[in-house]
Amino acid sequence: MRTAIFVYEPTTLNIHTNESDLQLEQLRGTGALALAPSQNTISVDRGIYKIVSSQCVHVSGPQIEVQATEQNKDDPPRFTGTLPEGYQDVSDAALAAFFTVDAAKSFRP
């Protein structure tokens, strides 16, 4: 699964997963944040984020849009409104590249 999270205002995300070794990655970010296989409460700035997983990940919080698609079988997630402030210059190609999942990364025995 590819879970896309578009954050429109600084907020707190509630992320629940049953998997280990998952990360919250940010487009234009400097690194990824490890997620525990349980409930995670994380403060984030405006931005575009993703989580790559084998199972569904539940994400909630104010001022966000969440979209989930299956690895690379579906088109990359698309925002339905405007991009978050500071990300209006991101092209469709850049979004597609960010949400592309390397096949080697997506295999989880």
In degrees, to the nearest 5, what angle opens at C-alpha 61 toward C-alphas 40 and 98? Answer: 80
**Angle (CA) 35 88 49, round 5°:** 5
* Sign of the four-CA dihedral 55, 56, 58, 64: positive
**Residue boundaries of the structural domains of the chain:** 2-99
At position 79, the amino acid (one-letter code) is F
pLDDT higher than 80, residue 78: no
Q: Give the model's pLDDT for residue 107.
A: 44
Tell me the pLDDT band of 73, cut-offs 50, 70 and 90: low
**Strand, coil or helix: 59:** strand
13-38 pLDDT, tens digit each: 999 999 999 999 999 887 899 999 99
DSSP for 83-109, please give it: PPTT-TT--HHHHHHHH---HHHH---
* 13 touches 59 (CB < 8 A): yes
Q: How far apart are CA 60 and CA 70, in angstroms?
A: 19
pTM of the full structure: 0.85
Residue 15 CA to residue 54 CA, distance in Å, equals: 15
